[in-house]
Structure 1
């Protein structure tokens, strides 16, 4: 795991600001079908609105609000 990466709890605190009156809860977690990427949906129900954010697990063990970049085909060339 990347020690400089963002733990899920830190991101939930940053984006949803849960507290005793407005707790955050995991409402969905799974893996994407295509690339088997782990994701979590966390929700906070505020008096005026409900906020839900998806977090994606990256290869280095950190979590982000955007999915990791897909692996793309690459070409290499060698001198003859």
Structure 2
């Protein structure tokens, strides 16, 4: 089981306290992956150029990888009830 991860915890994990003063967070929507919504976290510094994309998962956690796309499923109980 994965530990729940807030966006703040994700930022704290990947950026040092001195870098966090130079971070800009912007929201994005990525239609290619089924309408995934997330944020881009950019380090705005003269010496570093880092950009990470965090994706919001269905359980409320924020991860660096997108949530799995939901796939069509077949429910046999619907067939048995007919």
TM-score, with structure 1 as normaliser: 0.72
Larger Rg: 2
Q: Deviations over 1:12-37 (max 9, x none)?
A: 111122426852211x3122225222
Instruction: Give the corresponding residue for 1:11.
Output: 10
Q: Relative to total residues, which structure has the larger helix share, 1 or 2?
A: 2
What is the rounded CA distance, in whole Å, between the counterparts of 1:50 and 1:61 in structure 2?
Answer: 28
What is the rounded CA distance, in whole Å, between the counterparts of 1:53 and 1:7 in structure 2?
Answer: 15
Unaligned runs of 5+ in 2: none
Match of 1:70, SS state, is coil
Instruction: Give the corresponding residue for 1:49.
Output: 48
TM-score, with structure 2 as normaliser: 0.70
The structural deviation recorded for 1:74 is: 2.5
Instruction: Give the corresponding residue for 2:37.
Output: 38
Unaligned runs of 5+ in 1: none
Query: Number of residue pairs matched?
Result: 75
- Alignment check: 8 A CA contact 1:18 1:44 kept: no
